[in-house]
Structure formats: C-alpha cells, structure tokens
Amino acid sequence: MPVQDKSDLFQFMLDRVKETQKQHPLNAEPQAFGRWFAELFFMNPRDIFVSDGSKDGKIDLFFATDNGKTVLHHVLNTKFTKEFNKIAPPSFYQEIKYFWQAFENRPSRAAYLEKAVKQELRPRYKQLFERYDNGAAELMFVTNHRRNDAHFEQVKNIPVKVFHMDDLIQCLVDDIDQAEVLVQEK
C-alpha cells in the first residue's frame, strides 16, 4: 500500500474501523474503533466486550490478553472522529481523570456503580475493579484526535496509557513495515 502522508494513514485507519464495524455486530464506528485498536495493538485479544453507551461509566470496551504466564485485562475509554488532525478538546482530559478516579477511589466505587453504570454492567465492572486492585488490569484512553499538549500535561503522570492520532498512526506504520518484512522473507 503506497502511503503518502499522515492523512493517507488516517484514511486507512478509518477504512479499517469501517471494516471492523462490518465484521462484528457493533452499533457504530465509534464502538468499532476500540475493537480495531485492540486487534491492531494486541496479540490475540480475547473476551472483547463493548460497553459503550448510555451509563457506561466512561468504560467503552474491555478485553483480556494472555502471554502464557499472565492474564492482563485492558479497560478502554475511547474517542473517535472522522475529521483528520482534529485536536482533542480539554474535556477529554477531564474524562481521563474521571475514568482513572473510578478505579483509584475505592471508597466511592459503590456510589459510582450505582449512579454512573447501568445495572447489567455492574457485575462486570466489579470484576474489573478487583483485577485492577490486584495489578491485573490496565487503563487506556484511545483517540484518533491529535494530542492537545496543554491539556495532556494534566494527565501525563497518572497511570492511564494514552494514545492519540500520532500514536495510532505510528502503530499502523509499524504494522505495515512488519507486514512488508514478512512478505520479503517469503
């Protein structure tokens, strides 16, 4: 695939998200975006569960990976756009802090579950809290918006892995480069 610039890679990303939406019974492209990321960035993600929607408690998707020794659970908050080079609004960074606090603030979890999470998701979220407490869950914020440097400073030191447009494009480049090497080796 001849790639010219970031906008070409961004369009390639949008095309892959649309394909992911068609392959899985997902509601819309924003929900497919998280699954696309999981399948691109992780080797064999399993038990993918899309929770995005009303009263999702800022958790849009979660899944597990297993390296043969350890099972790790990945909890994602995602933001999707079709607009190339759109800067992330300040509200995203407030949401990252809210997302993190839902896990970090143990005494407030019951109230959080009661007020911010619909009934059918609560048992799953309780399990995610337990896994987080045991060091077996990581929090991630994934967006295809451009990083807002001024507001990113507010969250760069909290334990949430944050991916923006440039990070995702680099993942695509690395994935394409690896595929080309494999083809050349054959």
Q: What does the pLDDT look like over 15-69, one tens digit per residue?
A: 999 999 999 876 689 999 999 999 999 989 999 999 988 999 999 999 999 999 9
Residues of the chain with pLDDT under 50: 1-3, 179-186
| CB-CB contact of 109 with 168 (8 Å) | no
Give the pLDDT of residue 53. 87
Give the strands of the sheet with 61-66, arranged side by side.
46-50, 61-66, 71-79, 137-143, 160-163
Q: Which residue in the block uniquely carries the two structure tokens 């407490």?
A: 133
- The closest alpha carbon to 143, from 73, 103, 96, belongs to 96
Which residues on neighbouring strands pair with residue 140, listed in sequence order? 76, 161
Burial call 99-115: b when 16+ CB within 10 Å, e when fewer: bbebbeeeeebeebbee
Q: Is the pTM of this model over 0.85?
A: yes
Q: How far apart are CA 148 and CA 88, in angstroms?
A: 6
Show the DSSP H helices in 61-164 as ranges.
90-104, 109-116, 122-133, 149-152
